Amino acid sequence: MADPVTFLPCCSLTALFFCRIIKTVVKTFKYFFGLRFEVKGLENFKVEGPAIIVSNHQSILDMMGLMEVLPDDCVQVGKKELMYTGSVGLIIYLGGVIFINRKSTTSAKMVMAEVAKTMTTENVKVWVYPEGTRNCTGDLLPFKKGAFHLAVQAQVPVIPVVYSSFTTFYNPKKNLFTSGKIKVEVLPPIETKGLTSDDVSDLTDRCFRTMRETLFRLSGRPSEAKDSS
């Protein structure tokens, strides 16, 4: 089957309608799950023009955390399999999610290149989970580079967002799911003006280190406890 094409409709009325509904509905879920969010740094989203937002991805519970801070003019990058999940797939498609094929770097790169162009003309932010998959270990997986190529191609800042570890209240393997508090920090934007593709690896490393340090701090874990650098 052909890969889905890029779709950045977050300015369309349909997308705005679905985004509002999804945000309102998903934001109520925290009361049923007994979760509280403590958010800091929202002012860092106030950059002029588009930006790439990168955050850690621990579980489907992140969708609640996403809706707590999601700027209005923002679309997310998701794996294309999500598009085939029936009504949820349809809803998030209409909400403006950009689907990529993680199994084909060539196709994902083509979609990302298109997004780099469109996000500037449409003036939207794009939210990417640079770990590329869910990871609930309390640490970060090595970052994929797509988000950082995208930021450099569009010459827009990268805004890291970090959610504290869920491990103290959520562990599906141990059937642990209690109430809990999630700390969220939106970090200052990292500029990419003047950077080229040669700088992408350094940019990726810089974001990774900053986010890992923040993750450990927010989760009350000493940073030298598991240092992979």
Ligand X SMILES: CCCCCCCCCCCCCCCC(=O)SCCNC(=O)CCNC(=O)[C@H](O)C(C)(C)COP(=O)(O)OP(=O)(O)OC[C@H]1O[C@@H](n2cnc3c(N)ncnc32)[C@H](O)[C@@H]1OP(=O)(O)O
- DSSP one-letter string for 183-226: EEEEPPPB--TT--GGGHHHHHHHHHHHHHHHHHHHTT--GGGG
Q: Which does 100 bind (CB under 5 to 8 A by kind): ligand X, ligand UBL, none?
A: ligand X
Interacting residues toward ligand UBL by CB under 6 A: 21-22, 25-26, 57, 60, 63, 79, 82, 88, 91-92, 133-134
Does 19 bind ligand X (CB under 6 A)? Our answer is: yes
Q: In this structure, are strands 180-186 and 52-55 parallel, antiparallel, or unpaired?
A: unpaired
Structure tokens, 72: 């209005």
Q: Which does 97 bind (CB under 5 to 8 A by kind): ligand X, ligand UBL, none?
A: ligand X
Residues 146-175 that bind ligand X (CB under 6 A): 146-147, 149-150
**Distance between the two ends of the chain, CA-based, in angstroms?**
40
Stretch in the footprint of ligand X (CB under 6 A) among 33-41, 140-148, 170-178, 211-219: 140-148
Residues 187-206 that bind ligand X (CB under 6 A): 200
Stretch in the footprint of ligand X (CB under 6 A) among 27-35, 145-153, 154-162, 175-183: 145-153
Report which of 42, 9, 201 is spatially closest to residue 124, judged by C-alpha positions.
9
- 26 versus 113: smaller Cβ distance to ligand UBL: 26
CB atoms near residue 216 (< 10 Å): 22
Residues 102-131 that bind ligand X (CB under 6 A): 102, 105, 108-109, 112, 128-130
Rounded to a whole number of angstroms, the minimum distance from the CB of residue 32 to ligand UBL is 13
Among 39, 42, 47, 63, interactor with ligand X by CB under 6 A: 63
- Residue 89 in 3-state DSSP? helix
CA distances from 54 to 89, 190, 217 (A): 22, 11, 18
CA distance 22 to 170: 24
Whose structure tokens read 């950077």?
195
Q: Which does 39 bind (CB under 5 to 8 A by kind): ligand X, ligand UBL, none?
A: none
Does 27 bind ligand X (CB under 6 A)? Our answer is: no
- Residue 38 in 3-state DSSP? strand
- Which spans of this chain sit near ligand X (rule: CB under 6 A)? 19, 22-23, 57, 63, 70, 76-79, 82, 92, 95-97, 100, 102, 105, 108-109, 112, 128-130, 132-133, 144-147, 149-150, 200
